[in-house]
Chain A
């Protein structure tokens, strides 16, 4: 079975974000880019499925040359092949999903893993869009997954609990934290990954359907206030919450 895992390349979550001079994007200088944290769960799950059912795992990323770093990490974790669908343009989710869907079709994959969310634009829709374009089934925000022949049973996180969902292949699954514990690349994995060739393809782009008019910093919060350093401050806290903030 062919398994595709989609990997995005995002600023480390510890990054301070500054706005670029055109006020439409972030300023990438000084930022370390890493594999999107949720995609590590997706990679791990793809590898587990391969170990249990056999097959081949292909990691796919849409973006700039530097996305190869994240693809390299996926290879080091154990995926068999990596493909960079190369573009220097900023793509919105819909365009990204079309590019990914084309590649999934091209590879003939029946199961696609993605992260539930990319921690850059936090869209949380690329998996579902890709499934819709392909006409595949889809289960998002998955914390538990069982595949039995062509049947899928999964648990997805919802407010205050989980839905137990049954579906079937072909399918797109988006991974939530809790699904598994992503493995660390081994020394051998890292060495093998260095030798592997990442396939590069250029892509055809349609018009983006969303337009970012501008990017800005959120309004600064008032500097904090310490109202006391012992229990004598507690009645004052309650009074402030009641009378000033009016939140209790």
Chain B
């Protein structure tokens, strides 16, 4: 029996993450179907626009506040969140499956003696319970999972569930000051790799592979990405050659992504690469070999030299 769902809303630099708003809308929908209550909690210092959570479906929000909570800390956040869950009486917790959500949720599973399943891409209600569907083997298969016990934790894959803002309702935010944050695990600095968008969070990704021949030719990939407001990604061949950072790698041993649009340039479409991006809504492939496996999953392919097509595409996009 699920009576109360609590959503952990993630902030970084005092800003709410989009993936958390997706989680808020999804939790609200599930709660309505189950006739359960639904609340949200956010941990941090000063946070902008917390009340938008109301627009995405949850009215009742607790902001747990302390300057030591500005940055994420595994030890601090897990203790505070565990206490809060017990206090608010939630039996089911939703997280976004982000770096923070993946790190934090298992600690709650242990402290609350809850069952946990991660990276869900579909939730269905069957006989008053949540049945979660999630990819395994890098998306080569899907499983349906049921959680047992009185307490349950689910994490939702970003970019899969819609964030639905369908009212102007502002959330009621209760601020709860805490002290004595446990800093056994302390973030002393955040190094930004650059100002660019991360592939895991982007709606559009332009990726390059070995077909680009060298690191200098990623300039055109970056230009195309910039025009589209996209993140840049890479195949493992481009990463292993040292052309691109590992954080750009898409695939089974890189990041699993599901953007609205994935453009693969000079990438052959090896099984490990496809595993990480085949759930993209639309796939474009540019490859001079028309037999390259990437074309088997591309919605729109152009079989020609990337050094001709990409500049032409940039020109065409600039026109419109």
Contacts and interface: CB of A to CB of B under 8 A. Distances in A.
Interface in B274-320: 275, 278-279, 281-285, 290, 294-304, 308-309, 312-313, 316-317, 320
B295 A122 contact: no
B142 A211 contact: no
A27 B164 CA distance: 39
Interface string B227-262: 010000000000000000011010011101000110
A166 interface: yes
Given A93-B116, A215-B142, A247 B282 contact: yes
Most buried by A among B106, B285, B304: B106
Interface in A25-55: 26, 37-38
B110 interface: yes
B190 A164 contact: yes
Interface string B171-195: 0000000000000111111111110
Determine chain A's interface SS by DSSP, over half rule: mixed
B131 interface: yes
Interface stretch (B45-53, B56-64, B133-141): B133-141
Given A120-B137, A210-B117, A247-B281, A162 B193 contact: yes
Contacts of B281: 245, 247
B282 A245 contact: yes
B297 A226 contact: no
Contacts of A231: 304, 308-309, 312
B115 interface: yes
A234 B312 contact: yes
B303 to A, nearest CB: 5
Contacts of A137: 74-75, 184-185
Contacts of A176: 246
Interface stretch (B21-29, B32-40, B143-151, B214-222): B143-151
A122 B290 contact: no
Interface size class of B (residues with CB under 8 A): 35 or more
A6 to B, nearest CB: 14
A226 B136 contact: no
Nearest to A217: B141
Contacts of A123: 118-119
Nearest to B131: A213
Interface size class of A (residues with CB under 8 A): 35 or more
A133 B86 CA distance: 18
A164 B144 contact: no
Interface of A: 11, 13-17, 19, 26, 37-38, 93-94, 119-125, 128-129, 131-133, 137-141, 143, 155-168, 176-178, 207, 209-218, 221-231, 233-235, 237-238, 240-242, 245, 247-248
30 contacts: A13-B252, A15-B137, A19-B141, A94-B109, A119-B253, A122-B138, A128-B107, A132-B106, A140-B103, A159-B99, A160-B192, A162-B190, A164-B187, A164-B190, A209-B116, A209-B148, A209-B149, A211-B146, A211-B147, A215-B142, A216-B141, A216-B144, A217-B142, A222-B299, A226-B302, A227-B300, A233-B304, A234-B312, A238-B316, A240-B300
Given A129-B110, A218-B142, 17 more contacts: A93-B106, A125-B109, A129-B109, A160-B192, A161-B191, A161-B192, A163-B190, A166-B186, A210-B148, A213-B131, A224-B301, A225-B300, A231-B308, A233-B304, A237-B313, A237-B316, A248-B204
